[in-house]
């Protein structure tokens, strides 16, 4: 359908301004520069607006950082960001407050996260390729079923699912957390990748097929490299969502040695008596670091799409 | 079947009922199932069983501790009389209709600004994504009270200009609003997806358009917007599904109560309270299937509507 | 459509397995005392100081009992119950379970717990009958009190001094004194209000007990145990506090109800009086940094014997009916309940031990706050009448429900009459289901 979108994009302006097509290269260059940078004034304005909004966006993190340096009883009495004392001990105490050093829980989380990422990348992209590019009977039915699987809230699914994993003897292992990802149960990512693959020009795989490529080769050599932004998105989201996922990790992991970061963080908090809020915030900051770093580096791959791979 | 065709949004293949598949078609079918294999196995082992179980439980009285007892349609009929459930539906609908469009607009606008063409973009992107990293952490509960509480930041700022604030979180008329703000503020996820989508638009289109002297607005309406529609569509569908299932933020901010006065009692929060708080897992399952029907209806409408505004390249 | 048959069959099989699993339910697995390998699982909720102390107790027990291992499982309060419900539904509950007053009947009444009186390794003889009653369901004892608490009024002596108000004599003070003090403090301090209202199920219970009634009927299960006029008068009493200016604003009350202890009004010094369980004294002192004192609740007559105070089990030790290790579990509970080595690690974190020998054993190790609590509970003992039975099946969210209605009344969304009627109907709807 959109094969005609791109031509439209050129032809529509071209129809009205045919002469520009032959515009001298000098002018084109100038225009490009303008587009990239704009005038100094507007550029400055843009930065000012972005920074102003950025401060609002950053406020929670700054507040958490400040709270992690405050004594427990001050956290709830001070709304501002002024620090009067530096309670570094929140970090040392928080790190050692539970049975294992906090790093232990971060390693556990990392195992679950890496397994989930690999699972989602491999299995979801395969399913997505089939849905987006292949013809098979019952495709629409299966696609609808796939979407339905994300429409039921986890709270009614968890008990039957627990019974299955418990019968299999997999409770208190990472299997119930990782295996579903290896089996593409995260329909969010399948659907995401379907949308991305459908956005890729079909001429590419048709050309490859004429060259004698099978589906496996088209998938691995053409589609996967081209959907880098979708894969990066999947990686980043899987990392963050798994890193923060409290409920299923709480349910499936029983031995404190197996606890992950979100479960460990909640262990600082008791709604009926004193909680170690300072330690909780300190360890929250520590556990945010890997996620933030992953985002910082991962987002570079977000922008490595078809635009930069040089395929035309 | 035709409804399913509409729903998937994938192209309908015209096929005769009894037409035999050609060898090539049969091969493609085989390849398809190979690609789908992991998903199919997951569906059979992990997904469908529990879904079917919850459907079965929705017709029973099940308290988690004793075997379920068949009660027929009782749970479904009970929903008609449950005023708290009806209230929670109202809260959820209001939340979906207000916060999803706002969040998507914010996400798209920032994705366009942060896409390219200036210095420090990766820094800005990371900063704007930060709130989404915090997600539903317990810290948010405390933070939100520090901002919107009676002696919170907002009221302190209002006091500077001589306006007397109010208990934004505590007042039933504004509590839901603070959750909408929280949702809009965590626009990072759809923003990232938009960014990825923008990067998939071949630069050659823009080069060609620029060569033709198309203005930026023109480039947006003729290139960016149409080519981004599959991604806009994806975000719309998934954000609606997600918003209907909103749980964590209300749970964390209200301490699991849905208060004040049930004003932040989302449907799933009420479902959770029924299932785990009151041990009415049968009723909770019935609620979940009602929610599934509602979400499926919205998704269906979305897919139908998408025929008119989403453009695919296949 | 024949093509569907094969996948359909697989799916049916998978769901059938789940349904079968569910239908076994919690009971019917009847753990025998002989089976089991002596590896116990023990679960509790709390924050890190409790996790640490409890792990030390486990270590002591393990070193005394070669070949027995106890695996501790802990989480925060709300996660604890989600997990326990799920694991119990999956017939995979921990052997030794920490229970709460809100849920013990739920689990006991539905066959998930074992009658402790039938376990040979567990000696209950040191416990007073009244303490055992707190965990009684029908003829059995399904939870053993880890320690007692009493709902009481905490006062911030520093704020009282600042307001120029004297701390009342709690053995004679009346509700009128309470109203007057609250109003005076609010007036003198401006930013600080007199009281936080209380308004949990705890003080409703006290209010009803002062009128010789109970929250839940013990004769007619599934109904409330109070007459409408006494619930009505309780709402009116709260409105009176509000209208005389003695309480925090409705907004502040509702904000505090979201359940972060340190963010509540009394710990953040927004009120000079707060309603808390006796064991929270130490935490309140830490949160405020002020001189917090513990008082009896006011009574209508000025006679402390009429104040309706009662002991509540802070938590319970229970043994799962699904356990294959009931003998070993009983032995471990026996250690927790009757061994000074365990008591000395626990101190009063789980309430003041109901076993008098344990209470005596820990006395020398207590800090000043803890000692204050212990002597407070001893002091009120002559006045405390029989304690209420644990909340009935289905009552798990009654506390939140009460708070919600109090909020509605304080915001004037409901009249006390409407709130009385609707709250009663809602509570009965919850508890009659059991």
Q: What is the pLDDT of residues C160-203, one digit of tens each?
A: 999 999 999 999 999 999 999 999 999 999 889 999 998 888 88
DSSP three-state, residue C72? strand
**Bond prior to B260 in cis (omega within 30° of 0):** yes
Q: Is residue C128 part of a domain?
A: yes
Chain centre distance of CA C4 = 53
Look at chain C and report how many structural domains it folds into.
Answer: 2
pLDDT of res. A309 = 46
pLDDT of res. A30 = 38
Give the domain extent around C97.
32-147+314-374
Q: Of B146-160, B175-189, B230-244, which range is least confident?
A: B146-160
- Per-chain mean pLDDT for chain A: 81
CATH number at residue A114: 1.10.3720.10
Q: Based on the domain organization, do C304 and C364 belong to the same domain?
A: no
- How is residue C391 annotated by DSSP? P
Nearest C-alpha in C relative to B17? C1
Nearest C-alpha in B relative to C8? B44
Neighbours of chain B (3+ CB pairs under 8 A): A, C
Phi and psi (nearest 5°) for C238? -65, -40
Q: Does C103 touch chain A (CB under 8 A)?
A: no
Contact B52 C14 (CB under 8 A): yes
Nearest C-alpha in B relative to C253? B170
Interface probe with B: pick from C13, C75, C252, C258, most Cβ of B within 10 Å: C258
Query: Greater confidence, C99 or A269?
Result: C99
Give the domain extent around A275.
101-309
Q: Are C46 and C74 in contact, with CB atoms under 8 Å apart?
A: yes
Contact A156 B138 (CB under 8 A): no
Q: Based on the domain organization, do C366 and C272 belong to the same domain?
A: no
Contact A199 B50 (CB under 8 A): no
Chain A residues in contact with C22 by the CB 8 A cut-off are 159-160, 163
Nearest C-alpha in B relative to A121? B38
Q: Of A204-213, C85-94, C168-177, which range is least confident?
A: A204-213
Q: Is residue A74 part of a domain?
A: no
pLDDT of res. A13 = 34
Contact B149 C403 (CB under 8 A): no
Compute the distance between CA of residue C175 and CA of residue A198 in angstroms, rounded to an integer: 72
- How is residue C65 annotated by DSSP? S
pLDDT digits (tens, 9 = 90+) for C357-386: 999 999 999 999 999 999 999 999 988 878
Chain A residues in contact with B222 by the CB 8 A cut-off are 8-9, 12-13
Contact B279 C107 (CB under 8 A): no
CB atoms under 10 Å from CB of C165, counted, come to 19
State mean pLDDT over C110-115. 95
Nearest C-alpha in A relative to B32? A130
pLDDT category at A291 given cuts 50, 70, 90 is confident
pLDDT category at C16 given cuts 50, 70, 90 is low
Contact A127 B38 (CB under 8 A): yes
* Locus of tokens 């025998």: C32
Contact B126 A292 (CB under 8 A): yes
B28 vs chain A: nearest CA distance in angstroms? 7
Nearest C-alpha in B relative to A65? B139
Size of interface B-C (CB pairs under 8 A): 145
**Of C11, C89, C400, which is closest to B64 when you measure between CB atoms?**
C89
Q: Which of A72, A100, A71 is nearest to A84 (CA)?
A: A71
Q: Based on the domain organization, do C350 and C415 belong to the same domain?
A: no
Q: Based on the domain organization, do C281 and C302 belong to the same domain?
A: yes
- Is A5 a residue whose pLDDT tops 50? no
Q: Based on the domain organization, do C331 and C428 belong to the same domain?
A: no
Compute the distance between CA of residue B199 and CA of residue B189 in angstroms, rounded to an integer: 16
Q: Which of A311, A237, B149 is nearest to C258 (CA)?
A: B149
pLDDT of res. A304 = 63
Look at chain A and report how many structural domains it folds into.
Answer: 1
Neighbours of chain C (3+ CB pairs under 8 A): A, B
Q: Is residue C22 part of a domain?
A: no
Chain B residues in contact with C82 by the CB 8 A cut-off are 276
- Report the length, in residues, of chain C: 434
Interface of C with A in 29-88 (CB under 8 A): 41, 45-52, 55, 71-79, 82-83, 85-87
Q: Dig out the tokens for B282 from the structure.
A: 């049968």
Q: Is residue C18 part of a domain?
A: no
Q: Of A208-217, A240-249, A293-302, which range is least confident?
A: A293-302
**Of B51, B64, B150, which is closest to C251 when you measure between CB atoms?**
B150
Q: Does A152 touch chain B (CB under 8 A)?
A: yes
Q: Based on the domain organization, do C252 and C169 belong to the same domain?
A: yes
Q: Are B174 and B93 in contact, with CB atoms under 8 Å apart?
A: no
A208 vs chain B: nearest CA distance in angstroms? 16
**How open is the CA angle A299-A301-A303, to the nearest 5 degrees?**
85
Q: Are C346 and C125 in contact, with CB atoms under 8 Å apart?
A: no
Query: Greater confidence, A273 or C186?
Result: C186
Query: Greater confidence, A251 or B45?
Result: A251
DSSP three-state, residue B20? coil
**Of A80, A123, A202, which is closest to B314 when you measure between CB atoms?**
A202
- Is C275 a residue whose pLDDT tops 60? yes
Contact C262 A73 (CB under 8 A): yes
Contact B273 C249 (CB under 8 A): no
**Of B46, B122, B199, which is closest to A185 when you measure between CB atoms?**
B46
Sign of the alpha-carbon dihedral angle for C215, C217, C221, C224: negative
Q: Based on the domain organization, do C121 and C173 belong to the same domain?
A: no
**Of B8, B149, B238, which is closest to A140 when you measure between CB atoms?**
B8
pLDDT of res. A10 = 33
State mean pLDDT over C246-255. 90
pLDDT digits (tens, 9 = 90+) for B28-52: 889 999 999 999 999 998 999 999 9
Interface probe with C: pick from A94, A163, A180, most Cβ of C within 10 Å: A163
Q: Is residue A237 part of a domain?
A: yes
**Of B257, B278, B280, which is closest to C257 when you measure between CB atoms?**
B257
Q: Does A160 touch chain C (CB under 8 A)?
A: yes
Q: Is residue A28 part of a domain?
A: no
Q: Does A297 touch chain B (CB under 8 A)?
A: no
Size of interface A-C (CB pairs under 8 A): 132
pLDDT category at B171 given cuts 50, 70, 90 is confident
State mean pLDDT over B118-141. 79
Distances (CA, A) of A81 to A61, A75, B160: 11, 10, 17
Q: Is residue C210 part of a domain?
A: yes
Q: Are B229 and B251 in contact, with CB atoms under 8 Å apart?
A: no
pLDDT of res. A27 = 38
**Of A254, A268, A272, which is closest to C261 when you measure between CB atoms?**
A272
Q: Of A32-36, A88-92, B129-133, C186-190, which range is least confident?
A: A32-36
Q: Does A85 touch chain C (CB under 8 A)?
A: no
CATH number at residue C271: 3.40.190.10
- Is B68 a residue whose pLDDT tops 50? yes
Q: Are A2 and B311 in contact, with CB atoms under 8 Å apart?
A: yes
Chain A residues in contact with C287 by the CB 8 A cut-off are 72-73, 76, 274
Q: Please report, rounded to a whole number, the percentage of residues in chain B having pLDDT higher than 90.
A: 47
Q: Is residue C234 part of a domain?
A: yes
State mean pLDDT over C80-90. 95
pLDDT of res. A271 = 72
Order of strands, sheet of C69-75, starting from the edge strand that comes earlier in the sequence: C69-75, C39-45, C96-99, C316-319, C144-145
Distances (CA, A) of C139 to A301, B3, C132, C281, C432: 67, 59, 11, 35, 21
Q: Of B202-206, C42-46, C228-232, C393-397, which range is least confident?
A: B202-206
Q: Is residue C388 part of a domain?
A: no
C98: part of which helix (H) or strand (E)? strand C96-99
pLDDT digits (tens, 9 = 90+) for B210-243: 888 888 888 888 888 898 999 999 999 999 999 9
Q: Is residue C23 part of a domain?
A: no
Query: Greater confidence, C25 or C410?
Result: C410
- Is A33 a residue whose pLDDT tops 90? no
Compute the distance between CA of residue B208 and CA of residue B190 in angstroms, rounded to an integer: 29
pLDDT category at C23 given cuts 50, 70, 90 is low
Q: Which of B281, B219, C123 is nearest to A35 (CA)?
A: B219
Q: Based on the domain organization, do C221 and C303 belong to the same domain?
A: yes
pLDDT of res. C1 = 35
Size of interface A-B (CB pairs under 8 A): 372
Interface probe with C: pick from B49, B57, B84, most Cβ of C within 10 Å: B49
Q: Domains along chain B?
A: 79-137+172-309 (1.10.3720.10)
- Report the length, in residues, of chain A: 312
Contact A38 B117 (CB under 8 A): yes
Nearest C-alpha in B relative to A225? B200
Distances (CA, A) of B201 to A206, A309, B232, C337: 19, 12, 13, 69
Q: Based on the domain organization, do C177 and C134 belong to the same domain?
A: no
Compute the distance between CA of residue B276 and CA of residue C85 in angstroms, rounded to an integer: 7
Q: Based on the domain organization, do C96 and C153 belong to the same domain?
A: no
Q: Dig out the tokens for B118 from the structure.
A: 């200036």
Q: Based on the domain organization, do C142 and C70 belong to the same domain?
A: yes
Interface probe with B: pick from C12, C14, C264, most Cβ of B within 10 Å: C14
Contact B241 A240 (CB under 8 A): no
pLDDT digits (tens, 9 = 90+) for A174-205: 999 999 999 999 999 999 999 989 888 888 88
Q: Is residue C328 part of a domain?
A: yes
Q: Based on the domain organization, do C180 and C280 belong to the same domain?
A: yes
């Amino acid at each position: 359908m959109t094969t005609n979108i791109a031509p439209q994009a050129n032809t529509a302006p071209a129809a009205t301004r045919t002469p520009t097509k032959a515009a001298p290269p000098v002018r084109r260059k100038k225009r490009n520069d303008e587009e990239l940078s704009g005038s100094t004034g507007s550029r400055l304005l843009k930065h000012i607006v972005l920074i102003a909004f950025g401060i609002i966006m950053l406020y929670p993190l700054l507040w958490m950082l400040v709270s992690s340096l405050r004594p427990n009883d001050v956290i709830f009495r001070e709304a501002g960001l002024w620090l009067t004392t530096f309670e570094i001990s929140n970090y040392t105490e928080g790190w050692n407050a539970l049975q294992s050093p906090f790093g232990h829980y971060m390693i556990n989380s990392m195992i679950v996260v890496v397994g989930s990422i690999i699972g989602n990348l491999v299995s979801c992209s395969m399913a997505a390729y089939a849905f987006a590019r292949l013809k098979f009977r019952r495709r629409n039915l299966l696609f609808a079923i796939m979407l339905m699987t994300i429409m039921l809230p986890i709270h009614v699914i968890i008990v039957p699912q627990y019974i299955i994993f418990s019968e299999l003897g997999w409770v208190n292992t990472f299997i119930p957390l990782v295996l579903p990802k290896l089996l593409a149960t995260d329909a969010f990512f399948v659907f995401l990748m379907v949308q991305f693959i459908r956005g890729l020009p079909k001429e590419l795989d048709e050309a490859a097929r004429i060259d004698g490529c099978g589906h496996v080769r088209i998938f691995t050599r053409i589609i996967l490299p081209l959907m880098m932004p979708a894969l990066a998105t999947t990686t980043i989201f899987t990392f963050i969502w798994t890193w923060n996922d409290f409920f299923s990790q709480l349910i499936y992991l029983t031995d404190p040695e197996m606890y992950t970061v979100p479960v460990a963080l909640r262990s600082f908090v008791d709604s009926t008596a004193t909680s170690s809020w300072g330690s909780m915030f300190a360890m929250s900051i520590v556990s945010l670091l890997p996620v933030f770093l992953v985002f910082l580096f991962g987002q570079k791959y977000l922008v490595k799409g078809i635009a930069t791979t040089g395929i035309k | 079947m035709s409804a399913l065709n509409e729903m998937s949004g994938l192209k309908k293949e015209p096929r005769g009922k009894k037409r035999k598949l050609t060898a090539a078609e049969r091969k493609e079918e085989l390849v398809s199932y190979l690609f789908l294999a992991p998903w199919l196995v997951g569906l059979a082992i992990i997904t469908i069983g529990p879904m079917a179980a919850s459907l079965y439980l929705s017709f029973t009285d099940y308290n988690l501790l004793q075997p379920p007892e068949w009660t027929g349609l009782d749970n479904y009929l009970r929903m008609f009389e449950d005023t708290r459930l009806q209230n929670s539906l109202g809260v959820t609908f209001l939340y979906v209709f207000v916060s999803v469009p706002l969040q998507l607009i914010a996400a798209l606008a920032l994705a366009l600004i942060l896409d390219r063409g200036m210095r420090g973009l990766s820094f800005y992107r990371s900063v704007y994504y930060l709130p989404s990293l915090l997600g539903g952490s317990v810290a948010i509960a405390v933070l939100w009270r520090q901002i919107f509480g009676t002696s919170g930041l907002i009221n302190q700022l209002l006091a500077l200009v001589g306006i007397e604030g109010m208990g934004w979180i505590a007042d039933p008329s504004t509590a839901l609003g603070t959750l909408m703000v929280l949702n809009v503020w965590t626009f990072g996820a759809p923003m990232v997806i938009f960014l990825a989508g923008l990067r998939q638009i071949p630069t050659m289109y823009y080069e060609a358009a620029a060569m033709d002297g198309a203005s930026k607005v023109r480039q947006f309406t003729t290139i960016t917007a149409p080519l981004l529609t599959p991604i806009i569509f994806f975000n719309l569908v998934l954000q609606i599904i997600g918003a209907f299932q909103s749980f964590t933020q209300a749970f964390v901010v209200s301490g699991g109560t849905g208060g004040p006065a049930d004003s932040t009692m989302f449907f799933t929060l009420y479902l959770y309270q029924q299932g785990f708080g009151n041990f009415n897992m049968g009723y909770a399952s019935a609620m979940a299937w009602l929610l599934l029907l509602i979400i499926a209806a919205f998704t269906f409408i979305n897919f139908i509507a998408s025929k008119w505004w989403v453009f695919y390249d296949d | 459509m024949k093509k569907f048959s094969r996948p359909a069959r697989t799916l049916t099989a998978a769901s059938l397995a789940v349904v079968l699993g569910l239908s076994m339910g919690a009971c019917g697995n009847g753990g025998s005392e002989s089976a089991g390998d002596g590896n116990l699982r023990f679960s509790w909720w709390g924050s890190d100081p409790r996790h640490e102390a409890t792990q030390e107790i486990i270590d002591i027990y393990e070193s005394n009992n070669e070949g027995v291992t106890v695996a501790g499982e802990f989480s925060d309060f709300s996660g604890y119950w989600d997990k326990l419900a799920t694991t119990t539904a999956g017939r995979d509950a921990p052997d030794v379970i920490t229970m709460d007053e809100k849920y013990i009947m739920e689990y006991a009444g539905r066959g998930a717990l074992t009658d402790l009186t039938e376990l040979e390794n567990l000696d209950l003889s040191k416990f007073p009958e009244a303490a055992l009653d707190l965990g009684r369901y029908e003829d059995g004892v399904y939870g053993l009190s880890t320690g007692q608490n009493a709902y009481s009024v905490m006062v911030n002596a520093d704020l009282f001094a600042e307001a120029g108000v004297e701390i009342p004599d709690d053995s004679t003070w009346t509700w009128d004194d309470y109203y007057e003090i609250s109003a005076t403090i609010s007036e003198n301090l401006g930013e600080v209000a007199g009281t936080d209202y209380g308004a949990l199920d705890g003080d409703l219970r006290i209010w009803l007990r002062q009128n010789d009634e109970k929250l839940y009927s013990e004769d007619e299960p599934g109904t409330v145990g109070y007459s409408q006029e006494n619930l009505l008068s309780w709402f009116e009493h709260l409105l009176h506090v509000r209208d005389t200016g003695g309480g925090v604003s409705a907004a502040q009350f509702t904000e505090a109800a979201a359940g972060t202890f340190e963010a509540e009004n009394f710990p953040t010094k927004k009120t000079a009086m707060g309603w808390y369980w006796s064991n929270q004294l130490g935490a309140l002192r830490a949160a405020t940094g002020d001189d917090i004192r513990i008082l009896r609740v006011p009574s209508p007559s000025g006679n402390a014997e009429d104040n309706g105070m009662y002991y509540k089990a802070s938590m319970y030790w229970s043994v799962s009916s699904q356990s294959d290790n009931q003998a070993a579990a009983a032995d471990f509970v026996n250690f927790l309940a009757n061994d000074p080595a365990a008591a000395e690690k626990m101190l009063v974190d789980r309430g003041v031990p109901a076993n008098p020998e344990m209470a005596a054993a820990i006395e020398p190790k207590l800090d000043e706050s803890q000692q204050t609590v212990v002597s407070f509970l001893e002091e009120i003992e002559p006045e405390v009448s029989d304690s209420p039975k644990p909340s009935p099946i289905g009552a798990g969210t009654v506390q939140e429900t009460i708070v919600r209605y109090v909020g509605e009344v304080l915001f004037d969304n409901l009249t006390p009459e409407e709130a009385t009627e609707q709250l009663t109907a809602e509570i009965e709807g919850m508890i009659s289901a059991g």
